[in-house]
Structure 1
Amino acid sequence: MTPSGATDPVDDATLALLVEVAGTPKPGNVDRRRDLDDLRFEAFLGGAVGARPGLELAAETDGGVAERPAVGAAFERAVEGMAARAGTNTQFGCLLLLVPLVRAAADPDRDLSPAGVDAVCRSTTVDDAVAFYRVFEVVDVAVDDPPEGAADLDVRRGGAAEPALRERETTLRDVLALSADPVDAGAAGGSAASDRVPDRNAAEWVEGFPRTFRAAEWILTDEGPLADRAARAFLGLLAAEPDTLVASTRGAETAREASARAREILYPDGSDLSDPVGDVSAVDAEAVHGADLDAAESLAAAFVAEGINPGTTADLTCAALFVALRRGAEVAP
């Protein structure tokens, strides 16, 4: 196994993007054997290449903190490059997770740990938030309506939201916290949980990337080709929590049903987890490692036919691959 840090973080991030899309089957997602009607495998390869300049910007940590490129600017460049090369939005969510991970891995003042990545996220500024909003003018991203009282912070406003961001002094982490919070601000004075599924990628930013690091452990302790390990980790993540993209496009009930169907593959003997799980730590590594990828093929075909695309789960799988690669996972046998 390669010692941690012996490879370049940008190389590992690029490889994570490539291995993620190569893993199969990842039910409902593009992989090396399966295209969607409007999205093809090679577009993801192009997106990974196009995103590299932004990832390189995230890895620039020479000099003091004030001299380092901003996280928001790195993300903006990565998405612009991705869209230019792929011709569409292929890996927006992956890059939203990878940019702070790459910064933490490359930063001599931090390390690639939950605490290290949390420090990167907490250091973001209003300028980072403005750059994040501008990206929505470049690519189409499926998002829910903003919480009640935050219409002026709707990301779909793009750069037009800058005055509101500055007036509220809203950092990038603040913006993502709005999506990560599962509480319905308009229900019972904000005390009652809504039916909506929280944005899992946003929750990573707020919670210290628990899903990413948990899934990285599954990958590291698994055996076999790295792409197969990634596919099994995908099933584990989907079984743990309903997918945000599915909830946004098909509704929360469909998202929860999709997670239940993934759990049936992890626990074929019927010793299922409670529904909903809602906690990635509740999925044990043994169940993930034993996931039958042949059985997952029928679920993959069904999800594609039904238009169920757990894209957020793929984002988390990519982030987990990056951490696993930094910690010694290899593509070589």
Structure 2
Amino acid sequence: MRKAGGVTPTRDQIRHAYIAACLGEIQALKPGNVHRFADGHRMTATQFLDSAEISADPLTDPALRVGRRIRDAVAMTRERVGTNTNLGILLLCAPLAKAAEKPGRDLRRNVAQVLDTLDRDDARDVFAAIRLAQPGGLGSAEKHDVSEEPEVGLLEAMQEAAHRDMIARQYVTGFADIFDIGLSAHATALARDEKDMWPIVFVYLDFLSRFPDSHVARKHGAAVAEQIRAEAETIRESAAEMRDGTEREKLLLAFDKKLKADGINPGTSADLTVATLFAHGIINLVLHNRGVNG
């Protein structure tokens, strides 16, 4: 498909890129999070894989605005899976999916344009999605509380939460952490000849070691989130020095067991990892389509 300004992926290509990102993330050994090596937090890897399939259609529906995509995808997931497996993933991936539909090869610029169009209707749908998903540790906010009718557009509501929530921060920074940190960590791992799940693992560890995880902070407090960040930094450095995959797995599984025993789930770092993989997939699609179509 060719449009003015570049070659755009088809809806089916975007859908498959989203599912592949979710699959890749769940296949990777992400300490504290659900993955194929170990379930956790009363959730299973199968639930996350099912959620990806269930949410893919509304997430990539070109007829829907960003907020409606998130609301419909959360509703379908909640109805069929019965728990919140993907709110953060959907909040991050819906703008990326919308941006992928725009002409031109610059995904980052397209994302910025999508974010600039978000309005009060988007906020209303996202607030409804958050209420439906019932994320752990949500609490209430002094301004733009999701239990109330939004008085502003979605971007302004996200600005209010950006200092305490890494997902909201992506909305107000043009997904800077995805483009500058996540994709960079992925490229660095590939350049180091990491294979199979390891580039994804290092994306996750990079997010977890750079920022106190928002989900951990909401549920356990800022001090615990900072402690986990510092521990993750040590784990990441040790894993990078190892070349034996089995030894790496032992190191990460021990950290995984410790986190899950304490009820700690760095879910925001996992969500950012999915968004990074989705962005990487979209960029590759655009490059591939450009080559195929001239």
Q: Report the TM-score, using the length of structure 1 for normalisation.
A: 0.75
Task: Quickly say closer, same or farther: Cα 1:130–1:266, change in 2 above 3 A.
Answer: same
Distance 1:137 1:228 in 2: 35
- TM-superposed CA distance for 1:290, in Å, is 10
1:21 aligns with 2:15: no
1:43 aligns with 2:55: no
Q: Is the 8 A contact 2:26 2:45 kept in 1?
A: yes
Task: Quickly say closer, same or farther: Cα 1:146–1:288, change in 2 above 3 A.
Answer: farther
Equivalent of residue 259 in structure 1, options 216, 220, 229: 229
Q: Tell me which of the two structures has the higher relative contact order, counting C-alpha pairs closer than 8 angstroms and 6 or more residues apart.
A: 2
The correspondence of residues 276-315 of structure 1 with structure 2, limited to 5 A, is 292-315=248-271
Task: Quickly say closer, same or farther: Cα 1:85–1:22, change in 2 above 3 A.
Answer: farther
Distance 1:42 1:215 in 2: 25
Equivalent of residue 178 in structure 1, options 157, 160, 183: 160
What residue in structure 2 maps to residue 229 of structure 1? Answer: 199
SS at match of 1:242: coil
Equivalent of residue 130 in structure 1, options 116, 124, 149: 124
For these two proteins, the number of residue pairs brought into alignment is 271
- Over the matched positions of the two proteins, sequence identity in percent amounts to 30
Equivalent of residue 165 in structure 2, options 189, 199, 214: 199
Equivalent of residue 90 in structure 2, options 92, 95, 104: 95
Distance 1:328 1:122 in 2: 24
Amino acid at match of 1:207: T
Task: Quickly say closer, same or farther: Cα 1:289–1:120, change in 2 above 3 A.
Answer: farther
Task: Quickly say closer, same or farther: Cα 1:5–1:219, change in 2 above 3 A.
Answer: farther
SS at match of 2:107: coil
Q: CA RMSD in A?
A: 2.5
Task: Quickly say closer, same or farther: Cα 1:287–1:112, change in 2 above 3 A.
Answer: farther
**Stretches of structure 1 lacking an aligned partner (at least 5 in a row):** 61-67, 183-197, 270-285
Task: Quickly say closer, same or farther: Cα 1:257–1:290, change in 2 above 3 A.
Answer: farther
Q: Is the 8 A contact 2:120 2:153 kept in 1?
A: yes
Amino acid at match of 1:34: A
**Stretches of structure 2 lacking an aligned partner (at least 5 in a row):** 1-6, 286-294
